[in-house]
Amino acid sequence: MAVLTGKIAWVTGAGSGIGQAAAVALAKEGATVVLTGRRKEPLEETAATIKAAGGKAVVKAGDLMKAASVTKIAAAIEKQFGRCDILVNNAGLNILERSWKQLSAAGAEQVIDGNLSSAFYCTSAVLPIMRKKKDGVLIHTSSMAGRQASLLSGPAYSAAKHGVVAMSHTINMEECVNGIRSCVVCPGEVATPILDKRPVPVTKEERGRMAQSEDVGDLIRYIACLPAHIVINEVMINPTWNRGYVANLQRGKS
């Protein structure tokens, strides 16, 4: 029997990239996966992939930047399944106009709501459900920019992802007595569609050397499958060919 058989996993940002890969990986472990994102069509494609492989998936589209929408989806999950065992807080976005000289208040709001507020809303919505079972695991996709401020990612994204890291650690501080575990995953460069929003285009060759969505999805699966008495508080995952390291080496030779 697969490790997650009978478990309900809610995956946000499940229409592409890391969220899609995580949903597929969790379904292969036996979990019934609830897929959420703003656009229904990509979620349906993820669900079709899961079902074609014999897995179980349900689409519940919604705007996670709106607290009322999140609350409605969480209530629907509890009503339909009576539980939510795993939350993968993966929804996120970035914008092209990300430097301080370009960033507008509206742009900052979009990035912070898309990466941090959405994660808070989903966390707040599932914790009461998990407390009833005295069990549950939350896995949040942050970024290396959530550990080291990055002009490449921009100030709004860096600030929001730092917030996700802090949020995850406070969950463990308070909810460990309820059997609830929280892990924040900090990936370096991953070849996902968010790269299309980079001010400097990323080549196909560069993307091929990066971590892939499936790599991070498999890590999320591993975390979700850990026994209830163990938590990985925080983990980093990076490509071996780290472009930041390589750039530093080249500067050192010049």
- The pLDDT of residue 207 is 93
- The pLDDT of residue 149 is 94
User: Which residues are paired to 183 by β-bridges?
Assistant: 139
- The pLDDT of residue 254 is 67
Q: Is 222 a catalytic residue?
A: no
- The pLDDT of residue 201 is 84
- The pLDDT of residue 197 is 79
CATH fold label, 8-253? Rossmann fold (3.40.50)
Distance, in Å, from the CA atom of 146 to the CA atom of 22, rounded to the nearest integer, reads 20
Catalytic residue chosen out of the listed positions 121, 157, 222, 245: 157
HEC-encoded secondary structure of the chain: CCCCCCCEEEEECCCCHHHHHHHHHHHHCCCEEEEECCCHHHHHHHHHHHHHCCCEEEECCCCCCCHHHHHHHHHHHHHHHCCCCEEEECCCCCCCCCCCCCCCHHHHHHHHHHHHHHHHHHHHHHHHHHHHHCCEEEEEECCHHHCCCCCCCCHHHHHHHHHHHHHHHHHHHHHHHHCEEEEEEEECCECCHHHHHCCCCCCHHHHHHCECHHHHHHHHHHHHCCCCCCCCCEEEECCCCCHHHHHHHHHHHC
- The token duo for 65 is 């930047």
Model confidence, pTM: 0.95
- The pLDDT of residue 153 is 95
Task: Please list the pLDDT of the chain residue by residue as tens digits (254 residues).
Answer: 799 999 999 999 999 999 999 999 999 999 999 999 999 999 999 999 999 999 999 999 999 999 999 999 999 999 999 999 999 999 999 999 999 999 999 999 999 999 999 999 999 999 999 999 999 999 999 999 999 999 999 999 999 999 999 999 999 999 999 999 999 999 999 998 888 878 888 899 999 999 999 999 999 999 999 999 999 999 999 999 999 899 889 988 86
- Residue in 41, 35, 83 with CA at minimum distance from that of residue 60: 35
